[in-house]
């Protein structure tokens, strides 16, 4: 499990078919009047499926909400091992208490070793296929695009374009 973001409503650079003469100017992004969102994402190593949820914040309450969604995907008797980095909300006492009550073991990567978490390489394809060359005007539309990508990605896990982007990020 890891967080991806902040995701803001701004034009993202990328490739596309554009007129060569007098391109439209990109809108200014000095302020974030609509705020930012964060993608809380989890990778099921057994099935190689990605799950994600957009959140306004990355507090322990948001993480617990996401963990509850993950827990419902698996039978209660099955022990879940959730690999996390050392972000402070992951160490919150309520998160640890929830894990003890729900047959979940939290496994923390060493400090400055996020490359040990297998989910890291899955953010590069998400960035390429959802954000690159985009200019979303609402967080709802951005969230829908991310969810559509996750559904497509889970059906096409071995697609050459996905694997090519994943291999650019080195993880163990």
Q: Is residue 67 helix, strand or coil?
A: helix
pLDDT score at 83: 93
Whether the pLDDT of residue 82 is over 90: the answer is yes
Q: Does 16 reside within a domain?
A: no
Whether the pLDDT of residue 142 is over 80: the answer is yes
Q: Does 158 reside within a domain?
A: yes
Place of tokens 């939290």: 106
pLDDT score at 108: 93
Q: Does 47 reside within a domain?
A: yes
Q: Does 13 reside within a domain?
A: no
Whether the pLDDT of residue 27 is over 70: the answer is no
Q: Does 27 reside within a domain?
A: no
Q: Does 88 or 21 have the greater pLDDT score?
A: 88
Helices (H), the chain: 60-72, 93-101, 123-126, 139-155, 160-166
CATH number at residue 66: 3.30.420.10
State the distance between the two ends of the chain, measured CA to CA, in whole angstroms: 15
Q: Does 171 reside within a domain?
A: no
Enclosing domain of residue 156: 35-166
Sign of the alpha-carbon dihedral angle for 123, 154, 34, 64: negative
pLDDT in tens, 48-67: 999 999 999 999 999 999 99
* Domains held by the chain: number: 1
Q: Does 172 reside within a domain?
A: no
Cα angle 30, 35, 39; round to 5: 120
Q: Does 2 reside within a domain?
A: no
pLDDT in tens, 102-113: 999 999 999 888
CA 123 vs CA 18, 42, 126: distances in Å: 26, 11, 5
109 close to 154: Cβ distance less than 8 angstroms: no
- The residues facing 39 across adjacent strands are 4, 54
**Local confidence band at 28 (pLDDT 50, 70, 90 cut-offs):** low
């Amino acid at each position: 499990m890891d967080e991806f973001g902040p995701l803001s409503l701004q034009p993202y650079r990328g490739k596309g078919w554009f007129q060569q003469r007098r391109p439209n100017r990109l809108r200014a992004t000095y302020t974030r009047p609509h705020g930012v969102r964060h993608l809380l994402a989890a990778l099921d190593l057994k099935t190689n499926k990605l799950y994600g949820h957009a959140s306004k914040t990355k507090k322990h309450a948001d993480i617990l909400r996401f963990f509850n969604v993950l827990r419902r995907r698996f039978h209660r008797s099955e022990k879940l091992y959730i690999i996390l980095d050392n972000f402070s909300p992951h160490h919150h006492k309520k998160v640890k208490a929830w894990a003890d009550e729900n047959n979940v073991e939290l496994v923390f990567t060493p400090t400055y070793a996020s490359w040990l978490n297998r989910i890291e390489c899955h953010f590069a394809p998400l960035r390429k296929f959802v954000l690159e060359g985009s200019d979303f005007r609402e967080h709802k539309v951005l969230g829908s695009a991310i969810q559509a990508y996750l559904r497509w990605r889970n059906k096409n896990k071995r697609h050459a374009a996905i694997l090519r982007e994943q291999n650019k990020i080195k993880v163990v």
